[in-house]
Amino acid sequence: MARKKRRTHVKVDETVTNSPDSPKLPKSFVFKSGHVGKSVEALVRDMRRVMEPHTATKLKERKSNRLKDFVAIAGQFGVTQFLIFTRTDNGTNFRLTRTPRGPTLCFRVLKYSLIRDVLASQIDPKSFISEFHTPPLLVLNNFDGDENHLKLMITMFQSMFPSINVNKIQLSDARRVVLFNYNPDTKIIDFRHYSIGVKPIGISKSVRKVINSNVPDLHEYRDISEFVLREGHISESEAESGVEATVTLAQDFVGKINKKSDQRAIKLTEIGPRMELQLVKIQSGLCDGEILFHEFIKKTPAEIKSIERERQKKKQETALRRKEQEKNVERKKAEKEAHRLATSGRTISESKDEEEDDDEDESDEEGDDDDEVDEKEDNDDDDDESDEDDEDDEDEVDEKDEEEDEQQQSSADEMDVDPKYIGSP
């Protein structure tokens, strides 16, 4: 019997996503650059989980790969942003950049926790699978300043995930939340990643387990009332999201008991990873270009102009070197083509000379054949002369034979003997 495949998620309608009127979905590459260690490699994998489903989850980097290699293939796959993790002697760094021309936000990762660390801190950790089939919702908190770098950060964070159409969104697609919380005093950004869940209100956690058909473990209790009335214990990560908002479901949500118009409490369960980020600088290009903002280094207008002149000078030198390289390439191509034509012309002349030599040899051989024919004709003439001599000799012999026959006949007549016996022994 053939195995029947069952999909647990809804397929994306490519006719809608590829139409020119539909908004362009943000897609990302999350990768490391250089030697970062196993812990940062695990952080890269966790960030790919955060960016699902519109990211390359199985992207493999090699030591020989450079940034230009990823830029070269980004356009083919519609990638709009890179999330790059590096490590130096001063710590771990994180860069968020737009392709193909920037800008680039450079952060210092002060602290981070992996998904496995967050789940290990929970008493009752859950496995999350279907939550990653849809992109997360984005929440930006305390980004209220008028500074240009804050406005640029807001735009860059918003471009990481698809925009939301409030009138068309389905509640079943709202499964995760990504939170960026900015502290204006310390200038530190807290990154958090949560799963969205709903639960009935007015009943305890133990009763909810029974309602959800999860058979509880009662071997530690003497009576069912102890299980129903006991106080639940929550972990640190669960306590962070302890504030619950009561809402009325406008649509059916995930779960058989979460129907439209039901009163439910929204609960956030942290998935991970966690990060504390500090903005260091902003570059105008793709990990390069003019520094638009720097947290620690401040330059005067004269220094900025000097740096800009040096940058323009380097660009001009690069353009000149590129032109020289193109000229050298064209010159080498022309020399190679001339050499090919010269060698091909020489081979043609050599082949003509060989043909002429062959014709001369053939004419010489024909001359030799004519000589042989002449010799044959001379020999034939000699043969004819010898034949004539032989004929004369034969005539003489015949005359002699006739004379002898006449003599024998006369002697035979005289002796009265049969001539056929004459001369017999």
| pLDDT reported for residue 225 | 64
Cβ pair 244, 202 in contact under 8 A? no
Q: Which residues pair with 294 in a beta bridge?
A: 281
Helix (H) or strand (E) holding 317: helix 301-415
Dist. CA 26–CA 99, nearest whole Å: 11
| pLDDT reported for residue 361 | 59
Dist. CA 51–CA 60, nearest whole Å: 16
| pLDDT reported for residue 113 | 95
Dist. CA 105–CA 107, nearest whole Å: 6
| pLDDT reported for residue 160 | 95
Dist. CA 178–CA 194, nearest whole Å: 6
Q: Where are the beta strands (DSSP E) in 99-175?
A: 104-113, 137-141
Extract the residue ranges of the chain whose pLDDT is less than 70. Answer: 1-23, 202-219, 222-245, 256-257, 345-425
What's the sign of the alpha-carbon dihedral 14, 16, 20, 26?
negative
Q: Which residues pair with 96 in a beta bridge?
A: 83, 105
Cβ pair 171, 250 in contact under 8 A? yes
* Residue 55 DSSP code: B
| pLDDT reported for residue 238 | 43
Own/partner contacts of 401-407, CB < 8 Å, gap of 24 or more, are: none
Dist. CA 271–CA 118, nearest whole Å: 7
pLDDT digits (tens, 9 = 90+) for 249-306: 777 777 766 777 777 778 889 999 999 999 999 999 999 888 889 998 888 888 888 8
Q: How far is CA 244 from the centre of its chain?
A: 45
Architecture of domain 14-204+235-298: 3-Layer(aba) Sandwich (3.40)
Taking the whole predicted model, whether its pTM rises above 0.85 is answered as no
Which segments of 246-300 does DSSP mark as H helices, in order? none
Cβ pair 188, 278 in contact under 8 A? yes
Dist. CA 27–CA 367, nearest whole Å: 87
Amino acid (1-letter code) at residue 284: S
Dist. CA 242–CA 245, nearest whole Å: 10
Q: Are strands 28-32 and 91-98 parallel, antiparallel or unpaired?
A: unpaired
Phi/psi for 307 (5° steps) reads -65, -40
